[in-house]
Amino acid sequence: MKICFVGVGNIAQAIIDGLLKSGVSAQNITCIERNPDKAELLGKKNLKIIAFEDLANKDFDLIVLAVKPKDALDAETKILKLCPKAEILSVVAGITLDRYSNPNAVIRSMPNTASSFGKGLTALYALNQESNAFEAAQNLFSKVGHVLIMANEDEMHRFTSIIGSGQAFLFQVLNIYLKEFEKISTANPVSPKEAFKDFVSSLGDLFTQDSDFESLINKIKSPGGTTQAGLESLEKNDLDEIFKDAFNAATNRSKEISKEQ
């Protein structure tokens, strides 16, 4: 499968890294990137770099639209002008299919940066989910993690907030953990960040062994203990509502973005 990335921001780079680690040949990945510094780094990975106009002379199974939301509609129009039969896979957040000049030529996706490690979780939606292009998109993202097919396009907004933006929310929480951990005075020369890496990694290991969060919590807390006191404080301060508000804010922003273009 030959793929061309139009724009290579953070998400596109994560997908590319995941594809390369999965065994996809760099020769099958082409990039269009105007930033010379980024283009140089991509070239060091043996990826092909072409000018936008050269799309007309190439034949790709999928053209991945990975530009900023404000540039997405214009880029899609230019792609189809150069390649009328192009199959476009959009990783642009918030832009609904009806905003594009040819909705039938575009597949919407919402991957996350975990794709870089082959542990991505990607939402996928298209008007025609029986097409060869949609199958190719599923195949692409299955190489970098899990794929969830959305029953309707509205679900993309919610997925964006929980999985796409949600990673950053968890990183924010872990950053608070790390800052508190760094305040602890120790006689050991061990770097707090290095030790914290194992702590974060262990959370995934524990979830792999037991995917029931209530069970995991109960294995740590004891009645009247320190953990119980902390959990009660979190409940008192409505931690659930804080996260739900964050998800709702991200969902609403995704909807706003879809109307701004």
CA 33 to the chain's CA centroid:
19
Per-residue pLDDT at 66: 96
Whole-model pTM: value is 0.84
Q: How confident is the model at residue 58 (pLDDT cuts 50, 70, 90)?
A: confident
Beta carbons within 10 angstroms of residue 169's beta carbon: 16
Beta carbons within 10 angstroms of residue 144's beta carbon: 28
Which structural domains are found in the chain, ordered by start?
3-154 (3.40.50.720), 166-256 (1.10.3730.10)
Residue 108: pLDDT above 90? yes
Question: What percentage of residues in the chain have a pLDDT greater than 90?
Answer: 79
CA 218 to the chain's CA centroid:
31
Summary mean pLDDT of the chain: 93
**185 or 243: whose pLDDT is higher?**
243
Q: Coil, helix or strand for 48?
A: strand
Q: Coil, helix or strand for 230?
A: helix
- Which of 165, 115, 138 minimizes the C-alpha distance to 13? 115
Average pLDDT over residues 141-159: 95
Condensed to tens digits (0 to 9), the pLDDT of residues 166-210 reads 989 999 999 999 999 999 878 877 788 889 999 999 999 999 999
Average pLDDT over residues 220-247: 95
| Tokens representing residue 201 in the block | 């990694």
Instruction: Quote the Cα angle for 154-165-119, to 5°.
Output: 100
Residue 261: pLDDT above 70? no
Residue type, 5: F
Q: How confident is the model at residue 15 (pLDDT cuts 50, 70, 90)?
A: very high
Lowest mean pLDDT among 21-30, 97-106, 127-136, 191-200: 191-200
| Tokens representing residue 154 in the block | 């509205």
Per-residue pLDDT at 170: 95
Condensed to tens digits (0 to 9), the pLDDT of residues 214-231 reads 999 999 999 999 999 999
